[in-house]
A and B are shown apart, each in its own frame.
Chain A
Amino acid sequence: MDTIDTRGLSCPQPVIMVTNAVSDGKAAFEVLTDSECSLENITRLLESKKYKYEIIEKDEYKIIKAAK
């Protein structure tokens, strides 16, 4: 599964990276993020693109596991 590491990047870059993954037709991928704002933007994007996702909390960051 592809991992998109958006840690330390500010919006809109994380959203664009996920948008690229979506438009490349990836059915499943995971996104690493350490920003609550990016998390909201990414999950809003995934919802609009009809992806299902779950969020796994790590110490310093979160993993969003997304799948079509």
Chain B
Amino acid sequence: MKNIFKSRTGIIIAGSVIGIIAALLQYMGNPPNMGFCIACFERDIAGAIGLHRADVVQYVRPEIIGIMIGALLISMIKGEFRPRGGSSTVIRFFLGAFAMVGALVFLGCPWRAFIRLAGGDWNAVLGILGLIVGIGIGSFFIKKGYSLGRNYSQSKAVGFIMPAFMIVLFLMLVFGFSKLMLSEKGPGSMHASIIISIIAGLIVGGLAQRSRFCTMGSIRDIILVKDFHLISGVAAFTLAVFIMNLILGQFHPGFTLSVTDAAGVITSKPQAIAHSMHLWNFLGMVLAGLAFSLAGGCPGRQLILTGEGDTDSGIFVLGMIAGAAFSHNFAMASSGKGIGTFGAWGTIIGLVFCLIIAYTMTQKRKLS
């Protein structure tokens, strides 16, 4: 029963392997600095099923499916699969939706923020600073007694609903269901082969389930309880991506988004799928970090928990997918050109929503 990944060594190994896989996925076809991006990939899924019509970001990402199914399988083997739910469900849906709005203003989930950093994209520094501030605000409320309340055991079948949804998506991709919308150009068209992506997802899902790998939790635990356990995994992850990027020639340091020649033709794009509006890189991730900390996990962790049978996390995942649709349909998502027309509005409304939730769900030390 002893969990070897409980140890410091365990989380460092898990983080390193996830990092190596992330860099390899990019090498094998995934978009730049996007070996893994839980937010971007859920956004791509939202597009593939037609919830938004941004035709450059539509694909059923097998990595997302693999992560959830990998966590499901390993948690069943280890006796940790436990269907549960009923903790402030609708709040979690909107926390997921606004987390996605914030992540798409920055252009990445926390995993991708660290991958971008490891790829030399210094714009990510602003995002990571924002993430820390957002998690800091969330931690402040958690310390004051913020809680979304208890969850309760549910029947076994309930825990399989989200994994079944994922498997249906996967089958539609594998068998080429004609109604799926799949990008023919842009980031959505860039991907490793289905078999590689699904295996990568399964391995990462299994490792993350055993080690409890969580980017949000790594920062929160330092702020809240001075626990450096999870951050050692995230540091190993970032370092592994960095080293692999050096080996594979994927490291391009700088802020510069695109280089043009004398005629004004773009010759290279050192930092693709990124923008340099520093304030909004920062604020987008403040929003995402706050929403993740109020919901108890980064997007990757929410997928893992869903695989373990946590239907509240499942709702958060669905909220993120819906949030991606709102982001693109309402021009809130950023692009390489900068933030969307209504990106600032989305960020501010999201921050107000999260602060109201944080305040109203805080009861002074009622928990102790």
Contact = CB atoms under 8 A, between A and B. Distances in A.
Nearest to B3: A40
Contact of B365 (A9, A12, A20, A60): A20
Interface string A1-44: 00010011111110111011100100000000010110010001
Interface string B158-198: 00000000000000000000000000000000000000000
B278 interface: no
A12 B221 contact: yes
B291 to A, nearest CB: 15
A45 interface: yes
Contact of A8 (B143, B151, B220): B151
A10 B229 contact: no
Contacts of A13: 142, 147, 367
A57 B212 CA distance: 22
Nearest to A5: B150
A47 B318 CA distance: 38
Interface of B: 3, 6, 78, 80, 82, 84, 87, 142-143, 147-153, 212, 217, 220-221, 224-225, 227, 229, 296-297, 365, 367-368
A25 to B, nearest CB: 13
Given A8-B87, A12-B142, A16-B224, 6 more contacts: A9-B147, A9-B150, A13-B367, A17-B368, A36-B78, A36-B80
Contact of A11 (B78, B87, B148, B217): B217
A49 to B, nearest CB: 11
Nearest to A24: B368
Interface residues of A, number: 22
A44 B296 contact: no
Contacts of A24: 368
A17 B367 contact: yes
A37 B365 CA distance: 22
Interface centre among A15, A16, A21 (most CB of B within 10 A): A16
A60 B154 CA distance: 12
26 contacts: A4-B368, A8-B87, A8-B151, A8-B152, A9-B150, A9-B151, A10-B87, A10-B296, A10-B297, A11-B217, A12-B142, A12-B220, A13-B147, A13-B367, A16-B224, A17-B367, A17-B368, A19-B225, A20-B367, A34-B82, A40-B3, A40-B6, A40-B212, A44-B6, A45-B225, A45-B227
A54 to B, nearest CB: 15
A37 B229 contact: no
B212 A37 contact: yes
B143 A16 contact: yes
B3 to A, nearest CB: 7
Nearest to B368: A20
B3 A21 contact: no
Contacts of A45: 225, 227
A65 to B, nearest CB: 18
A8 B229 contact: no
Closest 7 CB pairs of A and B: A8-B150, A20-B368, A10-B296, A8-B151, A36-B80, A40-B6, A17-B367
A51 to B, nearest CB: 15
B354 to A, nearest CB: 17
Contacts of A36: 3, 78, 80
A15 B225 contact: yes
Nearest to A14: B367
A7 B152 CA distance: 9
A2 B165 CA distance: 43
A19 B143 CA distance: 11
B154 to A, nearest CB: 11
A60 B365 CA distance: 26
Given A11-B296, A37-B212, A40-B6, A16 B80 contact: no
A14 B220 CA distance: 14
Interface centre among A13, A21, A45 (most CB of B within 10 A): A13
Contacts of A7: 150
Nearest to A35: B82
A20 B144 CA distance: 12
